[in-house]
A and B are shown apart, each in its own frame.
Chain A
Amino acid sequence: MAESDNIVVETAEKIFADLADPQTVNNDKKDSWQAPLWQALSEAGLPLSWVPDDLGGSGASLADGFALLNAAGRFAVAVPLAETMLAGWLLAQAKIASPEGEMTVLPASPRDRITIDADGALSGRCRGVPFAKAAKHFAVLAHGKDGVSIALVDASKSRIESGLNVGYDHSDTVTLDKVQPVTIKAAPKGVDQTHLMLMGGVVRSLQIAGALESMLDISVRYSNERVAFEKKISKFQAVQHNLARLAGESAAALAAATSAADAIANATSFDDEVYLEAASAKIRCAEAAEKGGAIAHQVHGAIGFTIEHILHRYSLRALAWRDDFGSESYWAVELGKLVAKRGADELWPLVASR
């Protein structure tokens, strides 16, 4: 996506360019960019893009929200924008209004589970929860004897063991021990943990694709500036071919992520076709993060390995995003099982249905 084609993305890109410029952010040792960025995003209604007007949000379409997150990836935005959007979306599924401020979702891994006891209290331990430390509220998907519910939880009622992911963003362990939610409602039919994980996976896929676009961009630019052996390194065929491969990985990530986003935005239910799209996006984007990021670093040489250079803001974050809402290994196993269960002669019809 070279240029934005809607007002939500335009607004976001302007805010990112003004307040989340990667070089400025990287130079700022005190993180003083964070508060103004969050404030501007909030004033523009972006964190609650996926929350309808009557539930306190700005009511943007799924498609616009996805495009906005792709843009956030292009700037390696390191505030809980994606997490708050996802939380607002989850709450809206059960018609729960979103409060102001930062949010994140529980669980953030398909292997973790929150349960509801007879008193309606929530318990469970969730690892790798992005930005839990910064969140004022959690949107929680929980399992009780009556099925799946969605709850709004006050973050201060939980125990948080703080941690950092490989991209230096908060990725925390959250424990709920008989916590009474602020609000809890039954999830509508079709919204379950798999649905949440696939939705989260597509969000991460779009962010990874955005980060790869920027890695390609800055790698091409650097190769046209850096001189070695008396010529620009972009003139060496070995470098050109590496960058061509990076372009391929970036293109594959973008295609997989935007296709899955389009599939979800137009889906009426989470059938096998949407499952294929969303799981494939997470698998392929994670692979691209590894392969593409390695090339971007190779092109940059030692300078890209320094903390002063912005490359790591993209490369490490893209690697970290692989882990959230199910890694590529997890989804590959699940997708493989689905394909095997459908049978050999149903594989092509599934692929061709998209």
Chain B
Amino acid sequence: MTAALRFDPIRLPEKCEQLRKEVRAFLAEEIAAGTFDPHKPNREDTDAPEFSRRVGAKGWLGMTWPKKYGGQERSFLERYVVTEEMRVANAPTRRFFVADRQSGPVLLKYAPENIKMDILPRICRGEICFAIGMSEPNSGSDLFAAKTRATKTDGGYLINGTKIWTSSAHIADYMIAIFRTSPPTKENRRHGLTQFLVKMKQPGIKVNPIGQITGQYEFNEVVFTDFFVPEDHVLGEVDGAWKQATSELAYERSGPERFLETYYVLTELVRAVGPDPDTRSAEGIGRLVAQLHTMRRMSVSVAGMLHAGKEPVVEASIVKDIGTVWEQQLPHRVRDLAAFVEETATNRETLERQLDFAIKTAPKLTIQGGTTEVLRGIIARGLGLR
């Protein structure tokens, strides 16, 4: 076999189900207290700092990290349960989601001890928000074309240039960004980029919100002008960011957030058709549920591989490819199926409002965090085609 893809039927252990109950109870309380409305799509420009602290207080942020940094030393599978329950409930996770999933693990691996001791516990308490500085006006999918410079100066680096499409930069306390410390070499065009920790909300950084087609202002342009970053904020090897990127991708690409972004319209469709649907609705719902179940089983399987210390980069890319295409099509399929829903369905207005937002959200789902084209390139490489 040239292509040895494995998706073993990993089951979440029993302790995950106890945790799931706790998360559901917590979210039910938050909903009852009016923190958020589960029927409203998770507007990504909604900031909920107090909610973030309460999630932290539960021990559900950085939950897989060492206890000395504020973590709980729990498993990836437990984190998986927390993530999917939050996502399905439309909880406002924006403030902590990036730090918990991505930035924290990068710091754990590459930051010096003093920085880990300073920042990681604050992530775990839900106090700080992270952004990721990758794209630039002239480099998106082609990450290694980044031009924003980090020039060596006394005790650190001076940053000049612009990052763009940076989600949450307007509320973020920190950004993990890649900057150019050397030109690429002839042999390796990926050489010369370095990963940095950047403290936001300081002079030398200007954040300009950018309006999105959904009506939100959730991503930004971030302009650096002679902005100083101290030496110990370098994360990993100078000029060697390219070596550090791949291992994080599996975490980023295979989670439940990669197919549940528009899930709420499916729930609402089931509510709208009622307990005794016509054949057309039943078949449509049945197919969607079968596809959803299959993706979730694939995603849990990848979580199990991560838990076992593997790096399932190709499998994770497959989950994200299939998952994002599915969540992108979902609102359109639901719209088709809802076309004959009775005018009298009590949730008709809710469903229509949700569809309006989901249909506007859909185009970004196959772009953010690695486009479909990039993912298929990675899968093709895994198959031995490149």
Contact = CB atoms under 8 A, between A and B. Distances in A.
A329 interface: yes
Contacts of B2: 217, 220-221
A244 B5 contact: no
Contacts of A263: 9
Interface string A154-193: 0000000000000000000000000000000000000000
A257 to B, nearest CB: 9
A216 interface: yes
A335 interface: yes
A231 to B, nearest CB: 12
A239 B271 CA distance: 42
A351 B296 contact: yes
Contact of B376 (A2, A244, A334): A244
Contact of A217 (B3, B9, B297, B321): B3
Contacts of B286: 279, 283, 331-337, 339
A255 B297 contact: yes
Nearest to B269: A344
Interface in B1-55: 1-9, 11, 20
B366 interface: no
Contact of B380 (A244, A250, A331): A244
B293 to A, nearest CB: 4
B294 A351 contact: no
A340 B274 contact: yes
Given A220-B2, A251-B7, A276-B289, A354 B296 contact: yes
B318 interface: yes
User: B281, B293, B301, B380 — which one has the most chain A CB atoms within 10 A of its CB?
Assistant: B293
A1 interface: yes
B3 A220 contact: yes
Contacts of B383: 216, 220, 243-244, 247
Contact of A344 (B7, B11, B85, B270): B270
B304 to A, nearest CB: 12
A6 to B, nearest CB: 14
A280 B289 contact: yes
A332 B283 contact: yes
A220 B294 CA distance: 24
A221 B267 CA distance: 42
Nearest to A282: B290
A250 B321 CA distance: 13
A125 interface: no
Interface in B289-310: 289-298, 301
A352 B80 CA distance: 11
Given A217-B2, A251-B5, A336 B284 contact: yes
B294 A352 contact: no
Interface in A219-245: 220-221, 223-224, 234-235, 237, 239-241, 243-245
A342 to B, nearest CB: 9
Secondary structure dominating the interface of B? helix
A262 B304 CA distance: 15
A14 interface: no
B277 A240 contact: no
Contacts of B176: none
Contacts of B270: 339-340, 343-344, 347
Contacts of B379: 244, 247-248
Contacts of A239: 385
A254 B301 CA distance: 12
A348 B256 CA distance: 13
A283 B286 CA distance: 9
Interface string A266-289: 000000000011011101100100
User: B3, B277, B375 — which one has the most chain A CB atoms within 10 A of its CB?
Assistant: B3
Contact of A348 (B267, B276, B281): B267
Contacts of A315: none
B3 to A, nearest CB: 5
B293 A354 contact: yes
A315 B279 CA distance: 29
B350 to A, nearest CB: 11
A283 B287 CA distance: 7
Contact of B385 (A224, A279, A336): A224
A254 B5 CA distance: 9
B111 interface: no
Contacts of A224: 384-385
Given A258-B9, A336-B283, A345-B267, A284 B84 contact: no
Contacts of A343: 270-271, 275
Contact of A340 (B273, B290, B295, B377): B273
A30 interface: no
Contacts of A328: 287
B192 to A, nearest CB: 26
Contacts of A240: 376-377, 380, 385-386
A284 B294 contact: yes
A234 B294 contact: no
B145 interface: no
B257 interface: no
Given A220-B3, A258-B8, A337-B286, 13 more contacts: A244-B375, A244-B379, A251-B318, A252-B294, A252-B322, A256-B294, A280-B289, A328-B287, A331-B286, A331-B290, A332-B282, A336-B277, A339-B270
Interface of B: 1-9, 11, 20, 84-85, 88, 263, 266-268, 270-271, 273-277, 279, 281-287, 289-298, 301, 314-315, 318, 321-322, 373, 375-377, 379-380, 382-386
A-B pairs, 9 with minimum CB distance: A332-B286, A336-B282, A2-B4, A336-B286, A344-B271, A240-B380, A335-B286, A283-B290, A262-B9
